Amino acid sequence: MTTPAAVITDAAAYAQAVEDAVTASAAYYTGGTSALDDDAYDRLVRGIAAWETEHPDQVLPNSPTGKVAGGAVEGDVPHTVAMLSLDNVFSPEEFTTWSASLARRIGHEVERFSVEPKLDGLAVAARYAGGRLRQLITRGDGTAGEHVSHAIGTIEGLPHELAEPVTVEVRGEVLMTTAQFEHANEVRTAHGGQPFANPRGAAAGSLRAKERAYTVPMTFFGYGLLPLPNTEKALAPRLGELAHSDLMVQAAAYGVNTTATTAVPGITADTVEQVLARVQEIAALRAELPFGIDGIVIKADLAADQQSAGSGSRAPRWAIAYKLPAVEKITRLLEVEWNVGRTGIIAPRAVLEPVEIDGATITYATLHNPADITRRDLRLGDHVMVHRAGDVIPRIEAPVAHLRTGDEQPIAFPEACPRCGAGINTGEQRWRCENGRNCHLVAALSYAAGRDQLDIEGLGHTRVVQLVDAGLVADLADLFTLTREQLMGLERMGVTSTDNLLAAIAAAKGQPLSRVLCALGVRGTGRSMSRRIARRFASMDNIRAANAESMQQVEGIGTEKAPSIVAELAELAPLIDKLAAAGVNMTEPGATPPASSDGDTGEADENTEGVGGPLAGMTVVVTGAMTGPLEKLSRNQMNELIERAGGRSSSSVSKKTSLVVAGDGAGSKRAKAEDLAIRLATPDEFAALVADYLN
Ligand code: IVH
């Protein structure tokens, strides 16, 4: 899992490496953007350490090895107890070895571990006197830190006043959530500043910034709580004997934010196996978290175990960081492509110099929309920080502005649709071809024919291209009036494939309204939203009669989406009429039409959760592979089934989940359901529960 160390061959290369590491580290702690991503920095420091082992007499005093934070700004506020760093492990084997050595050191197995995310921000100590927040100090070199009390009031989760008038120090991490980071860069660039490359740099820079014309919110997560010396007995709580997990409960009771509020709360574990299982769970949830983590911190939970293990000068012996692979790398932006989607949206996509992130080679990243490019001040040739976690589409966080050479070129925005040459509607953030969904008809039709929409077998991409090129279809409705002769005239269309395709098209006319609506590809209405709209309004006529206000009665449709859906349906009116005339079904089986004529019953969500049924009022999550009677169902069909049976389908497990259907190979969702004591069902049990609704 670890990448190889940098190879250093002589004293001059060693001196250069130390200098590069110190510069990068200084940028890391002050919010400047480093020329090295975390991986490159780690490789460099490991190379430095390797050379130092061979040449112990030539170690430079400013070397980052053996320090709590080589390169960090030294502060002048002494820490009462040193703020240490953590040693790292990178694999289950390394963790197992570490825990065995800890057990040897303390003379028995570790009684209990605590396992929590390693938050990717900066360490601060917050001193409270009599319950009031008095001082905020960075970690600095571990012995003394910088005073950053000016940032008090901009950090969520660190209250001005605790729930009790205690005199304590809370330690933890200050970071920016993804939303806070986006906001910070918007505000910063609006004030003429360069965008920060990533949330960590943004938090570091914002925490230390004293004289900014603006403030940007950050978030604090506590991971330590200690008494302050020289405190009157009455104000000093007895914390010394508490286990780490109890300290975290106490911190939360004081009103301090901890990981308990997140999808990855700190837990305790009795065995190495349990720790490793939790490491996997946290790793699996990483991509979905609204803040960055770079690993998992495992601690001996009991104060007695911690005390007998003790600490070295750099790191405690009772805690370890299990590092996860880096999700950010610096690479170069080579080009921007403009692609037209099936609804006519013209979306920019970054072409990158290939870079490997967590085992995958990344060559493209999303750029959202033109305004986003302008806001980030991106230029061709820029070094950019690329973020990729899990299966989420990689994104560019920001350019590394100080690596610019002056040769970077502005990104040209298209003046006409790059696909059909028509004009571009630039009225909204996302630009759209004036030909709308007719611009990329092949994409629109392929989507409509897809398995989760009209499910027309035999109408794949190639066939659609043939039909469009032959001029046989100019919109979705034309599919339904295709004749046998027309199809037979196409290349590679024999009697059997023609008859099969005609039968599949005829069958598609009977699909429920939810799928017809989805096939239209109205922006903002994917599969589940189309089902909710169809269930609420029951017929296409009712949907078309709905105004923005009644559209908002559908769960998940807010003030922004509602008018755009209504407008787009109006735009689609001729096509919908043509589909209805061709005999396409326009009603939703099982849904009750609303009472009033404008499609609004006045009661929120009456129809969105079905009418009774065995799953009435339940939120159901499906995970793993389905077997038995459910084996052939796609995830979308499972969701349709859940909703037919009166339930609500969801893709993530939370306290609100009522039931998790866990099939073969179910992983983190099953584990989370077990943690939250949510009812679990096998595919067979679930099939029995909804037997009446299986068709
Ligand atoms: S415990 C003495 N717990 O990681 C124990 N640290 O690489 C040291 N960090 O300096 C801290 N999340 O800034 C601890 N849950 C967590 C953490 C955490 C992030 C940071 C902290 C520390 C650094 C070490």
**104-159: pLDDT as tens digits:** 999 999 999 999 999 999 999 999 999 999 999 999 989 999 999 999 999 999 99
Residue with tokens 């004749």: 483
User: What is the amino acid identity at position 528?
Assistant: S
pLDDT interval class at 257 (50, 70, 90): very high
The Cα 455–Cα 126 span in angstroms is: 59
CA distance 585 to 576: 11
Region 65-86: mean pLDDT is: 79
Q: Is the CB of 171 under 6 A from ligand 1?
A: no
Secondary structure element (H or E) that encloses residue 503, with its range: helix 495-508
Spatial separation of the C-alpha atoms in residues 52 and 109, rounded to whole Å: 34
Selection from 337, 331, 332, 333 nearest residue 412 by Cα: 337
Q: Is the pLDDT of residue 593 over 80?
A: no
User: Please, is 191 exposed, middle or buried when counting C-beta atoms within 10 Å of its C-beta (0-12, 13-18, 19+)?
Assistant: exposed
* Top mutation candidate among 38, 84, 86, 143 for ligand 1, by most atoms within 8 Å of CB: 86
E-strand spans in 493-650? 619-623, 648-650
Instruction: Please check whether residue 326 is in contact with residue 357, taking contact to mean a CB–CB distance below 8 angstroms.
Output: yes
Q: Is the CB of 86 under 6 A from ligand 1?
A: yes
**CATH topology for 77-323?**
D-amino Acid Aminotransferase; Chain A, domain 1 (3.30.470)
Region 234-260: what's the mean pLDDT? 92
Q: How many Å lie between the centroid of ligand 1 and the Cα of residue 388?
A: 23
In this prediction, residue 598 has a pLDDT band, given cuts at 50, 70 and 90, of: very low
Contact present, 493 and 487 (Cβ < 8 Å): yes
Q: How confident is the model at residue 317 (pLDDT cuts 50, 70, 90)?
A: very high
pLDDT at 418 over 90: yes
Q: Which of 119, 256, 305 to mutate to test the pocket of ligand 1 (most atoms within 8 A of CB)?
A: 119
Domain at 11-66: CATH architecture: Orthogonal Bundle (1.10)
Q: How far is the CA of 523 from the centre of ligand 1 (A)?
A: 43
- Please report which confidence band the pLDDT of residue 609 belongs to, taking 50, 70 and 90 as the band edges: very low
User: pLDDT at position 71, please?
Assistant: 55
Question: Which residue type, as a one-letter code, is found at position 504?
Answer: A
What contacts 521, CB < 8 A, 6 or more positions away?
342, 343, 437, 444, 447, 448
Decide if pLDDT at 503 tops 50: yes
**How sure is the predictor about 39, in pLDDT bands with cuts at 50, 70 and 90?**
confident
**Domain covering 328-425, topology:** OB fold (Dihydrolipoamide Acetyltransferase, E2P) (2.40.50)
Q: Is 21 in the pocket of ligand 1 (CB under 6 A)?
A: no
pLDDT at position 103:
97
Q: Is 85 in the pocket of ligand 1 (CB under 6 A)?
A: yes
Burial class (CB in 10 A: 0-12, 13-18, 19+), 146: buried
**pLDDT category, 578, cuts 50, 70, 90?**
very high
Beta strands in 443-578 (DSSP E): none
10 Å Cβ neighbour count for 501?
Answer: 22
Q: Percentage of the chain surpassing pLDDT 70?
A: 95
Please work out whether the CB of residue 297 comes within 6 Å of at least one atom of ligand 1.
Answer: yes
For ligand 1, say whether the CB of 72 is within 6 Å of any of its atoms: no
Contact indicator for 296, 282 with CB cutoff of 8 Å: yes
For residue 246, report the distance from its CA to the centre of ligand 1, in Å. 17
The answer, yes or no, to whether residue 601 has pLDDT greater than 50, is: no
Q: Are 440 and 341 in contact (CB under 8 A)?
A: yes
| CA–CA distances in Å: residue 680 to residues 57, 265, 652, 653, 687 | 62, 21, 14, 11, 13
Closest residue CA from atom 14 of ligand 1: 223
Tokens 């780490």 correspond to what residue?
Answer: 244
34 C-alpha to ligand 1 centroid (Å) = 21
Cβ atoms 266, 251 nearer than 8 A: no
The catalytic residues are 118
- DSSP alpha helices (H): ranges in 175-270? 178-190, 199-208, 244-254
To the nearest 10 degrees (0 to 180), the angle between helices 561-571 and 573-581 is 60
Query: Which residue's CA lies nearest to atom 5 of ligand 1?
Result: 84
Give the distance (Å) from ligand 1 centre to CA of residue 382. Answer: 33
Please report the atom of ligand 1 found closest to the CA of residue 116.
15
> In whole angstroms, what is the distance from residue 689 CA to residue 686 CA?
5
The DSSP call for residue 145 is E
Which residue lies with its CA nearest to atom 15 of ligand 1? 118
Query: Of the given ranges (501-515, 562-576, 668-682), which has the lowest mean pLDDT?
Result: 668-682
| Residue that has been written with the tokens 């359901």 in this structure | 673
Please give the pLDDT value at position 606.
Answer: 39
Regarding the beta carbon of 296 and ligand 1, being less than 6 Å apart is answered: no
- Cα 479 to Cα 474: distance, rounded to the nearest angstrom: 9
Residue 604 pLDDT: 40
| Ligand 1 pocket residue status of 223, Cβ below 6 Å | yes
Distance 595 CA to ligand 1 centre (A): 58
For ligand 1, atom 17, the nearest C-alpha belongs to: 118
Q: φ and ψ at 196, to 5 degrees?
A: -75, 145
Query: Is 121 within 8 Å of 203 (Cβ atoms)?
Result: yes
Across 400-519, where does the E strand assignment appear? 409-410, 424-425, 432-433
How far, in Å, CA of 284 to CA of 321, rounded?
A: 17
Q: Find the 245 Cα to ligand 1 centroid distance in Å.
A: 15
Range with the poorest average pLDDT among 289-298, 416-425, 604-613, 646-655 = 604-613
Asked, colleague to colleague, whether 77-323 and 619-693 share their fold, the answer is no
Residue 96 has pLDDT above 90, yes or no: yes
Least reliable range by pLDDT among 81-90, 234-243, 320-329? 234-243
Closest ligand 1 atom number to CA of residue 84: 2
Pocket lining: 84 vs ligand 1, CB cutoff 6 Å: yes
- Domain 619-693: give its CATH code: 3.40.50.10190
In sequence order, what are the residues at sequence separation of 6 or more whose Cβ sits closer than 8 angstroms to the Cβ of residue 637?
none
Task: Find out whether the beta carbon of 141 lies less than 6 Å from any atom of ligand 1.
Answer: no
CB 580 within 8 A of CB 513: no
CA atoms within 13 A on the CB side of 89: 19
Q: How far is the CA of 6 from the centre of ligand 1 (A)?
A: 26
**Residue 225 pLDDT > 80, yes or no?**
yes
Give me the pLDDT at residue 563, please: 94
Q: In testing the pocket of ligand 1, which one of 28, 223, 322 has its CB within 8 Å of the most ligand atoms? A: 223
CA distance readout (Å), 686 to 307, 446, 619, 691 = 50, 33, 13, 8
Q: For the chain, what is the mean pLDDT?
A: 91
Question: Looking up tokens 């740099």, which residue turns up?
Answer: 201
Taking the CA of residue 122 as reference, the ligand 1 atom at the shortest distance is 13
Q: What is the DSSP letter of 607?
A: T
Q: Which of 312, 311, 283, 281 is nearest to 295 (CA)?
A: 283
The residue whose CA has the least distance to atom 10 of ligand 1 is: 85
For ligand 1, atom 21, which residue shows the shortest CA distance? 123
Q: Where are the domains of the chain?
A: 11-66, 77-323, 328-425, 436-508, 513-605, 619-693
Closest ligand 1 atom to Cα of 69: 10
Calpha distance 418→423 (Å, rounded): 10
* Centroid of ligand 1 to alpha carbon of 596 (angstroms): 59
pLDDT tens figures, 527-539: 999 999 999 999 9
Ligand 1 proximity of 116 Cβ (cutoff 6 Å): yes
CB 138 within 8 A of CB 148: yes
Calculate how far, in angstroms, residue 519's C-alpha sits from the geometric centre of ligand 1.
49
Classify domain 436-508 at the CATH superfamily level: 5' to 3' exonuclease, C-terminal subdomain (1.10.150.20)
pLDDT of the residue at 58: 86
* Integer Cα distance of 668 and 662 in angstroms: 11
Which listed CATH number (1.10.1060.10, 1.10.150.20, 3.90.1150.10, 2.60.120.1270) goes with 513-605? 1.10.150.20
Residue 38 has pLDDT above 90, yes or no: no
Percent pLDDT > 90 in the chain is 69
Indicate if ligand 1 lies below 6 Å from the C-beta of 114. no
Query: 119 in ligand 1 pocket by Cβ < 6 Å?
Result: yes
